[in-house]
Structure 1
Amino acid sequence: MAAIAELDEMCFGREAWSAAAWEHEFERVTEDRVVLVADEGAVVGYAVLLVPPVEEDVVELLRIAVAPAERRTGIGGQLMTAALARCAGRTVLLEVAAGNESAIGLYGGFGFDEISRRRGYYAGGEDAVIMRWRETA
């Protein structure tokens, strides 16, 4: 858990979740909350999904991160593939900082489309881009 919190700090800085928040997140891991971890001898990436009961259609990708030294190695794609495999037949929503072009590119490559923006959502006034994925047949 400490390794995930450290990675989160490295990737998100001021927007990182605290160690206590991560502990709380892991305590809540149930059939409706899925935490995926990429481990190459050390934690190099993670994804957190909020997956409601089957009768509800929308899954939320709460968080995904890859260590800076491991980016562009396919780990982000592997995490997204594993996450989306858990979402068969459902819609997936996420939010991302408008300036995070590499993440927006990754999501777009998996078929996510921008559906709206939250103006000034992040510290410093940066917009949040809301993106949606729907499984295609």
Structure 2
Amino acid sequence: MRPVIRAAVADDLPALVALDEVCFGPTAWSEVAWLDEFERLSEDRVVLVADDGVVVGYVVLLLPPVALDVVEVLRIAVAPDRRRTGVGGQLMTVALQRCAGRTVLLEVAAGNESAIGLYAGFGFAEISRRRGYYPGGEDAVIMRWREEA
């Protein structure tokens, strides 16, 4: 069964915090950071959740006014036991549909080959690197997607 992609609600907060800790360890967003995200939810700040009765993945988007033309994928995660099952692809598909006509940027740890492969499969391409950006000195790969006309 494919999970439903929906907007996050306040009841999702504990699951989002827990999933973030599992997926990002020492760089996970704190509960306070997630509360801040929920306070800023609006037309320009979106959290989409993949839900199979429980939160199995999420994506956080920053969608500024259309005139600014650039969307940021701030965070995306999928529960370890649901990776490589299509959940990440579903989240990216819905996220990119929300970004129609805009440029989308994201950053990913250089060593996260599975995520880089997912993004490349959607047409993202590396445009730069932030050397030593992550704890331990790992580079951040900056990737860009632009919907083809």
The answer to whether the superposition gives a TM-score over 0.5 is yes
- RMSD, matched Cα: 0.5
CA distance in 1, matches of 2:123, 2:66: 22
Residue 48 of structure 2 is aligned to residue 7 of structure 1: no
Aligned residue number for residue 143 of structure 2: 131
Q: 2:88 aligns with which of 76, 85, 107?
A: 76
Give TM-score scaled by structure 1 length: 0.99
Distance in 1 of aligned mates of 2:46 and 2:15 = 18
Residue 56 of structure 1: how far off its partner (Å): 1.0
Q: What is aligned with 2:42? A: 30
SS in 2 for 1:48: strand
Q: Counterpart in 2 of 1:64?
A: 76
1:119 aligns with 2:124: no
**Residue aligning to 1:19:** 31
- Aligned to 2:75, the other structure's residue is in SS state strand
SS in 1 for 2:127: strand
Q: For residue 102 of structure 1, give the secondary structure of its aligned residue in structure 2.
A: helix
Q: Secondary structure at the match of 2:104?
A: strand
Say which SS state the counterpart of residue 57 (structure 2) adopts. strand
For residues 39 and 49 of structure 2, what CA distance do their matches in structure 1 show? 16
Q: Distance in 2 between matches of 1:28 and 1:57?
A: 20
Identity value in percent: 78
4+ residue segments displaced more than 6 Å: none
Q: CA deviation at 1:111?
A: 0.1
- TM normalised by structure 2 equals 0.91
- Note the alpha carbon deviations across 1:86-136, whole angstroms, 9 max, x for none: 000000000000000000000000000000000000000000000000001
Which residue number corresponds to residue 104 of structure 1?
116
- Equivalenced residue count is 137
Unaligned segments of structure 1, at least 5 residues: none
